[in-house]
A and B are shown apart, each in its own frame.
Chain A
Amino acid sequence: MGSKTKRHGLITRVWHWLNLVCVVILFMSGLTISNAHRYLYWGEWGFSPDQAWLSVPRFPGWLTIPTNYNLAEARDWHLLMAWPFAVGLLVMWIAMLITGHFWRDIRTRLREWKPTAIWQDITEHLKLNFDHEVGKYNFLQKLAYGVVLGIFLPGMVLSGLAISPGFEPAAPWIVELLGGRQSARSIHFIFSWGLFGFFVIHVALVILAGPIGQIRDMITGGNAAEEKQV
């Protein structure tokens, strides 16, 4: 496998880039779907602006797939890319649990949850000092990757399934858990912007930490001995 000497394992690298393509297409086609009905509700139902908790702005064509308003084509993309997105995430999770990547590198420990240590991590980030000692990732990285891998990405799959009336009879508990179909739709929307926020910070930190080396390592695997990470 060579996972001892590579900075990023093969499965991690393949998944990372596949997932990027999926998330970008899902996000941009999702904005077209949002344009179809720009109101979000809590509970099971909702159909008019006065029932909405949020009225979403209309997203311009340069942000959406396709660039014109075409709900059918946006749904075609969204429902197609949902497959590699969900299956890829499942494979990544199985791999992370088998190789111990999650348990060893991403899980945070109780002792790390100390305000002083967290504060120090934040100030080091603000000083753009990304060198850290033991372990692959620092606390903030573990937290960010853990929240994205453990909550936001699977949350997108679950809330997406919950919106599907054909899937609901197979697992009605998902819709119940999320508080009804319109709540699931709202959560789907909120989580998608959570992922967008992660994407922006992630890209910013990659740029600050030296984008060429970071991107090269995420393609070739890099060398674990010369770790310097965002």
Chain B
Amino acid sequence: MKYAIGRRSLLAGMSALFVGACSKVADSSVGRSLFDASQRWHQSVHRSLADRMALAKEYSKAEISPFFRGNGSLTVDTPEYEASVVNQFKDWTLEVRGLVDTPLTLTMENIRSLTQRTQITRHDCVEGWSAIGEWTGPQLSTLLEAAGVQNDAKFAVFRCADTLAGRQYYESVDLVDAMHPQTIIAHELNGEPLEVQNGAPLRMRIERQLGYKHAKYLTAIELVADLADLGEGEGGYWEDRAGYQWYAGI
């Protein structure tokens, strides 16, 4: 028995050493820069193997999942938002601002009067689950073309009304994803106005990336040259708070 216990503690010791070494690497600057480099390689491989404008798969109506679960923020905890829900978002506005020639302020009516895109797509959460829904709204590119994106703009930042654990939600993508045909500002899910748990009245659809990029309760789209000045500089709520990868295509 002495031998068995010795072997077991040897194995446990080896495992602890190994896992300990992993966490040392993960906390080091070398580890961090390897992780960041790996994320960039994934992104550039995705973009060089597929056309930059290649579409995510679209489904038929029969494939829509029975309901679309809400995740993350399920509402916005302010009296202003509650008032907006009551008046069916008649007072809601979406700003397009930052590095644009003509800043815009759009009402829900303005947004509904733009050319619409309807797409049945799959939503993949970073945790692993998927749901299929039909989304309708104008393409982000329509708004960006109307506002006129300036040359030094590199990223589109999505400003949101919701807070999670006391922090304001926000997200960002580069201009390739911002101008992608399936990147829409959705105000309808499965033919109905968005429900509160799904981000009413407006949410982003970034179809080739994971769910945390699809900012809900959208109040503004801001064009910026650099993400360093926003939040803690990582480019999004989960990136700042938990260290999630900024490129969420994998």
List chain A positions with a Cβ less than 8 A from chain B. Answer: 24-25, 28, 33-34, 36-37, 39, 41, 44-48, 62, 65-67, 70-73, 75-77, 79-80, 83, 163-172, 175, 181-182, 185
Contact of B17 with A by CB under 8 A? no
Contact of B208 with A by CB under 8 A? yes
Within 8 A of A (CB), among B8-51: 12, 15-16, 18-19, 22-23, 26, 34-35, 38-39, 41-43, 45-46, 49-51
Contact assessment for B42 and A181 in the assembled complex, using a CB-CB cutoff below 8 Å:
no
Contact assessment for B131 and A47 in the assembled complex, using a CB-CB cutoff below 8 Å:
yes
B84 to chain A, nearest CB (A): 28
Contacts of B243 in A (CB 8 A): 70, 72-73, 76
Contact assessment for A166 and B249 in the assembled complex, using a CB-CB cutoff below 8 Å:
yes
Contact assessment for A62 and B128 in the assembled complex, using a CB-CB cutoff below 8 Å:
no
Contact of B111 with A by CB under 8 A? no
26 contacts between A and B (CB under 8 A): A34-B128, A44-B132, A45-B122, A66-B26, A71-B127, A71-B242, A72-B238, A72-B242, A76-B243, A76-B245, A77-B35, A79-B42, A79-B245, A80-B34, A163-B250, A164-B250, A165-B122, A165-B124, A166-B209, A167-B50, A168-B57, A169-B51, A169-B54, A170-B49, A170-B54, A181-B122
Contacts of B210 in A (CB 8 A): 165
Contacts of A182 in B (CB 8 A): 129-130
Contact of B167 with A by CB under 8 A? no
Contact assessment for B209 and A46 in the assembled complex, using a CB-CB cutoff below 8 Å:
no
Q: How far is the CA of A115 from the CA of B173 in the complex (A)?
A: 59
Contacts of A28 in B (CB 8 A): 19
Q: How far is the CA of A42 from the CA of B233 in the complex (A)?
A: 38
Q: How far is the CA of A127 from the CA of B19 in the complex (A)?
A: 36
Q: How far is the CA of A163 from the CA of B128 in the complex (A)?
A: 9
Contact assessment for B122 and A62 in the assembled complex, using a CB-CB cutoff below 8 Å:
no
B127 to chain A, nearest CB (A): 4
B54 to chain A, nearest CB (A): 4
Contact assessment for A75 and B127 in the assembled complex, using a CB-CB cutoff below 8 Å:
no
Contact assessment for B46 and A73 in the assembled complex, using a CB-CB cutoff below 8 Å:
no
Q: How far is the CA of A169 from the CA of B208 in the complex (A)?
A: 8
Q: Specify which of A44, A70, A171 lies most central, judged by the most chain B CB atoms within 10 Å of its CB.
A: A44
Contacts of A73 in B (CB 8 A): 26, 243
Q: How far is the CA of A70 from the CA of B242 in the complex (A)?
A: 8
User: Looking at the complex, which one of A41, A46, A67, A175 makes contact with B57 (CB distance below 8 Å)?
Assistant: A175
Q: A66-B22, A72-B243 are in contact. List 5 more A-B contacts (CB 8 A).
A: A45-B63, A62-B12, A80-B38, A166-B42, A169-B208
Encoded as 1 (CB less than 8 Å from any A CB) or 0, chain B from 123 to 165 comes to: 0111111111000000000000000000000000000000000
